Amino acid sequence: MEKTDKIRKAFENKTWQEIKVSDSWHIFKIMAEFVDGFEKLARIGPCVSIFGSARTKQDHKYYQLTEEIAALLTKQGYGVISGGGPGIMEAANKGAFEAGGKSVGLGIELPFELFENKFIDRDKLLEFKYFFVRKVMFMKYSQGFVVMPGGMGTLDELFEAITLIQTGKIARFPIVLVGSAYWNGLLNWVTEKMLAAGNIKEEDLQLYKVVDTAEDAANHIIEFYETYVIKPNF
């Protein structure tokens, strides 16, 4: 029994050492992603990120609306950043690409979604292993967020942006949610529950705007920077 315990402990110690070494090497992988992202994205100029579901089909009204928004922003001198995949991401890149603007894709390695849409400028395509590194790039190099209907990932990106602005960790930038029929249920809950419970302030509700047209989405961002100066975050 004593011998068995010694063998078990030796095995556990070895495994733990291996884990610690592996964790240490992750730091260098993470650093490499940050360096690559910073070097490429620092040169792209003012951009707006467009988020939404990867599952949205090309014939859906939100796909077509996303194309329109991206084209309008491009014509005002903004580049467009997406997550690089299908659905709303593809529509965003397509709208920018076909309007002759900068089309950026920040892809992520996923076992069920190994896809990069064809409308990304090849010199503006980055692939990330770590979600948190990718989200830093979105926050740091975007002058605004356009949030189309989407799922959990879209909500994650939306609420992270609102939280960072709310807490003063990044400079304020415009956040536009497109599709009142889709978003109003969630936003009513925010007001009726979170605000009513005192968990947020009234002014927090002003950190985002809900619109239904491509023109209103683009104009909100354009008008925001008639008041505020464009500047990088962090």
Same domain, 20 and 107: no
My answer on whether 72 and 85 are in the same domain is yes
10 with 83, same domain: the answer is no
**CA–CA dist 204, 162 (Å, integer):** 8
The number of domains in the chain is 2
**Residue 234 is assigned to a structural domain of this protein:** no
Measured CA to CA, the distance from residue 64 to residue 41 in angstroms comes to 27
Q: Which domain holds residue 21?
A: 1-43
* Domain CATH number, residue 79: 3.40.50.450
Q: What is the pLDDT of residue 20?
A: 55
Residue 56: name the closest of 17, 94, 98, 13 by CA.
94
Q: Does residue 209 form part of some domain?
A: yes
Q: Note the pTM of the prediction, 2 decimals.
A: 0.86
> What type of residue sits at position 66?
T
Residue 232 is assigned to a structural domain of this protein: no
Query: Is there a single domain that holds both residue 142 and residue 88?
Result: yes
Residues 178 and 80 in one domain: yes
Residues 116 and 184 in one domain: yes
Q: What is the pLDDT along the chain (234 residues), one digit of tens a residue?
A: 455 555 455 545 555 555 555 677 788 889 999 999 999 999 899 999 999 999 999 999 999 999 999 999 999 999 999 999 999 999 999 999 999 999 999 999 876 655 689 999 999 999 999 999 999 999 999 999 999 999 999 999 999 999 999 999 999 999 999 999 999 999 999 999 999 999 999 999 999 999 999 999 999 999 999 877 665 554
Same domain, 23 and 63: no
Whether residues 28 and 134 share a domain: the answer is no
What pLDDT does 142 receive?
95
